[in-house]
Amino acid sequence: MTLPPPAAALRPHAEQSFAEELAALERADSRTRPPGWRLSPWAVTRYILGGTLEDGTEITPKYIGARRVVEVAVATLATDRALLLLGVPGTAKTWLSEHLAAAIAGDSTLLVQGTAGTAEEAIRYGWNYARLLAEGPSEAALVPSPIMTAMSEGRPARVEELTRIPSDVQDALITVLSEKTLPVPELGTEVQAKRGFNVIATANDRDRGVNDLSSALRRRFNTVVLPVPATVEDEIDIVTRRVADLGRSLELPEVPTSLAEIRRVVTVFRELREGATADGRAKVKSPSGTLSTAEAISVVTSGIALAAHFGDGTLRPADVAAGIHGAVVQDPVSDGVVWREYLETVARDRDGWDDFYRACREVSG
């Protein structure tokens, strides 16, 4: 059951924020639905990529990228094979996994957040130790994990940052994914997955602290690689949409969003990320950070807050300069050299970038 978002929720779940779109798709969807699915694969894909329904309902795009990537992900979940969304940080892996779960089951909350401290109980089950000591092992004392709940209710479960979970804990998923059962030897029983159950995992191999998946576990996933936005226009579109969404959610004062400043932030990030200027005429050094689309969104959102509360209400270069500096200069020594070189060899002589160059130089000191 989809719950309405709490009035003060900072970030409602996808199924809450887009409840009207999901309901409209459900009414319009006459195609075959896999067991346990709220929508057909066609409707799930339309929800993710956006479009206009026959009744005029506008479905906003949740993911801007290649249609085939989304189709493969949805088709995978329509089988009994788990899905692994792989990509560098900031390629919308978490965002896509949440919306896939919301569209398929109307519930994206069965989530295991992977960290170095994630214990096996988060994958399998735990115990209410007060009841366990008082009564011994029993169903009443058992505390199901999100994975166990998803299996028993026939819904997708999400595992975020799978490669951050210790390898021995990762392997607790092998039996779940291969046999579709979760044994509970303490009770002499097991939980068998109902139709509709699957696992959507996300992972990246760029961050520190990564634990490689065993070959046995990797074989049980169909891996879909999410690329960085293919063009600068795609990335600008993503940043513009997400900044607008965040501004409404955070109830930031209205600030005329300068497309020129968004384009500048995206251009800087792409050039540093790719190691060359947009026209390909000059090579530039890349910093140690990822400079992802998500970080560009954060820089612009922070700039809007600065412009609204401490500026003249218009997004200007000085409002984004500090955010860009913080995103680029992760290592004060090596990244500082990279950033100053970029400013002097690229930004200083670029037409229309005078204010931006001066603002960044002031921040850099």
| pLDDT single digits (tens) 36-84 | 999 999 999 999 999 999 999 999 999 998 999 999 999 999 998 999 9
pLDDT of 183 reads: 95
Long-range contact set of residues 171-180: C-beta below 8 Å, sequence gap at least 24: 171/214, 171/216, 171/217, 172/120, 172/123, 172/124, 173/123, 173/147, 173/199, 173/217, 173/220, 174/216, 174/217, 174/220, 176/123, 176/147, 176/151, 177/82, 177/217, 177/220, 177/221, 178/220, 180/80, 180/151
What secondary structure, in 3-state letters, does 213-281 show? CCHHHHCCEEEEECCCCCCHHHHHHHHHHHHHHHHHHHCCCCCCCCHHHHHHHHHHHHHHHHCECCCCC
pLDDT of 253 reads: 82
Task: Give residue-wise pLDDT tens across range 101-159.
Answer: 999 999 999 999 999 999 999 999 999 999 999 888 999 999 999 999 999 999 999 99
* Residues 6 or more apart whose Cβ sits within 8 Å of residue 223: 84, 86
Top pLDDT among 290 and 83 is at 83
pLDDT exceeds 80 at position 4: no
In which residue are the tokens 């779109």 written?
A: 21
pLDDT of 335 reads: 94
pLDDT exceeds 90 at position 30: yes
Residue 253, CA distances (Å) to 59, 183, 187, 305, 320 in order: 26, 53, 56, 8, 17
pTM score, whole prediction: 0.89
Place 276 in a pLDDT band, splitting at 50, 70 and 90: very high
pLDDT of 364 reads: 81
**pLDDT average, residue stretch 219-246:** 91
pLDDT exceeds 70 at position 5: no
CATH class of 14-225: alpha beta
Say how far apart CA 187 and CA 175 lie, in whole Å.
18
**DSSP code of residue 135:** H
Contact in structure between 53 and 42 (CB atoms under 8 Å): no
β-partners of residue 159 are 112, 201
Contact in structure between 328 and 289 (CB atoms under 8 Å): yes
Contact in structure between 142 and 183 (CB atoms under 8 Å): no
β-partners of residue 126 are 143
